[in-house]
Amino acid sequence: MLTIAGSDSGGGAGLQADLRTLALLGVHALAAVTAVTVQNSLGVKGFHEVPPGIIEGQVEAVVTDIGIQAAKTGLLPSAASVETVAGCWRGLGLAESAPLVVDPVCASSRGEALLDPAALDALRIELFPLASLITPNLDEVRLLAGIEVTDPASQRRAARALHDLGPRWVLVKGGHLRSVPRSPDLLFDGADFHLFDAPRIDNVNDHGAGDTLSAAVAGALAHGYPMPEAVGFGKAWVTACLNEAYPLGGGRGTVSASFRLRT
């Protein structure tokens, strides 16, 4: 499968989280790099966007030669990069052949803004209609749908509003829903709601959790799981990874799938 994502030099989130997750799921990961972040456990210090033509070249090179069963997007750092990926999807006819998970990365888990308003518009207008699944957290729901999710009713309202933008499925993640004791993720296909409820793991070392979830879901789709089962797998996976998260440097550490390496 293909991940289209940014590099995190701290090794916690982004492309590095995707590659780690997919390797453990037995999925060969093709990688189109969208941005290089200068980052450590304390924060994002710098940023270099990969030119859209090079993003397009990477996608086209691997899709036309190797082929994909599924794909995910992580950080798409500008409107131009979002439009480029959407253009590749339409041009290569991928919407029909490979499920696309769009993780609408808008801010880091430390709250640092990573996208400007034009890029948010491009996500909504160009990419969401091509997505099999979008996986916003509650900060991203606020930025993308203008809805403040505070309880299960507003979580359902947000899922409907985001579904209206065109993705086949929406997963409104509940990890940041502080009004309830657990972490309820709500999946919606325009007709039915599926709730994926798990214990909230209050681990400060949660860098890369969202990327790990969307990579695990996309990896499960690549293995042929139907969407609700793929989301259930991803939710269980990221919960286990939060349980084993470890500290790094002087700031925030990262989620870990070391449980997978025990015999």
Interface size with ligand PXL, residues (CB under 6 A): 16
246: helix, strand or coil: strand
Contact residue for ligand PXL among 39, 81, 155, 205 (CB under 6 A):
39
Binds ligand PXL by CB under 6 A, chosen from 41, 211, 240, 255: 211
CB of 95 to ligand PXL, least distance (A): 23
Phi first, then psi: give them for residue 173, nearest 5 degrees: -75, 140
User: Measured from the CB of residue 50, what is the shortest distance to ligand PXL in angstroms?
Assistant: 11
Binding mask 59-78 for ligand PXL (x = CB under 6 A): ---------------xx---
Q: Whose CA is closest to 259, among 67, 31, 24, 34? A: 24
Q: Measured at the alpha carbon of residue 22, what is the angle toward residues 263 and 209, in degrees to the nearest 5? A: 90
Q: Footprint of ligand PXL on residues 118-157 (CB under 6 A)?
A: none
Q: Which stretch binds ligand PXL (CB under 6 A): 53-61, 85-93, 104-112, 140-148?
A: 104-112
Sequence-separated (6 or more) residues with CB below 8 Å from residue 155: 149, 172, 174, 177, 184, 186
- Residues making contact with ligand PXL (CB under 6 A): 5-6, 8, 13-14, 37, 39, 44, 74-75, 105, 108-109, 208, 210-211
